[in-house]
């Protein structure tokens, strides 16, 4: 498929990822991160795909008659109206483990010698019966 339009909802997507889209023939529109919802709704009117990070993909964003996929660059689907996507036949994907290291960093100490310090810093966050 060539000459398709992808809305990227966050300007912080890595350039090599954007290059892959361009190489496959995509015309890309990039919004600033945390753009107002009104801007997102207006920009999504005539797109074939949406690549989202923190943006909330509501029913109002899913109105393009050409929209085929919403890809969430992150963990989970909480920012995407999956029920509406399903109703409209729009595929919803996530980027797999793209953020797994960033998500795990606050939970796993960087090296075993820091376990004592890590335990001190996190023990107040957890309570066990």
Residue 67 — very low, low, confident or very high, per pLDDT cuts 50/70/90?
very high
Residue 7 — very low, low, confident or very high, per pLDDT cuts 50/70/90?
very high
Q: How many helices (H) and strands (E) does the chain have?
A: 5, 5
- Sign for the CA dihedral angle at 71, 64, 91, 85 comes to positive
pLDDT for the residue 127: 47
Q: Which helix (H) or strand (E) holds 101?
A: helix 100-104
pTM, 2 dp: 0.73
pLDDT for the residue 112: 53
Determine the Cα–Cα distance for residues 52 and 94; give it in Å rounded to an integer.
9
pLDDT tens for each residue of 73-125: 877 888 999 999 999 999 999 876 555 555 555 555 555 554 454 445 444 44
Percent of the chain with pLDDT over 70: 72
The CATH number that domain 4-98 falls under is 3.40.50.720
**Partners of 30 in beta bridges:** 8
pLDDT for the residue 52: 92
SS3 116: helix
Q: Give the Å distances, CA to CA, from 70 to 4, 44, 47, 56, 105.
A: 14, 11, 10, 11, 27
């Amino acid at each position: 498929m060539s000459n398709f339009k992808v809305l990227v909802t966050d300007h912080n997507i890595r350039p090599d990822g954007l290059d892959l889209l361009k190489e496959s023939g995509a015309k890309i529109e990039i919004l600033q991160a945390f753009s107002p919802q009104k801007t997102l709704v207006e920009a999504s009117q005539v797109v074939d795909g949406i690549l989202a990070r923190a943006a909330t993909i509501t029913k109002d964003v899913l109105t393009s008659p050409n929209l085929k996929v919403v890809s969430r660059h992150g963990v989970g689907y909480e920012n995407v109206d999956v029920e509406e996507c399903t109703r409209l036949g729009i595929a919803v994907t996530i980027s797999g483990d793209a953020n797994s290291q960033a998500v795990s960093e606050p939970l796993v100490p960087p090296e075993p010698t820091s376990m004592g310090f890590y335990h001190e810093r996190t023990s107040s966050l957890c309570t066990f019966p």
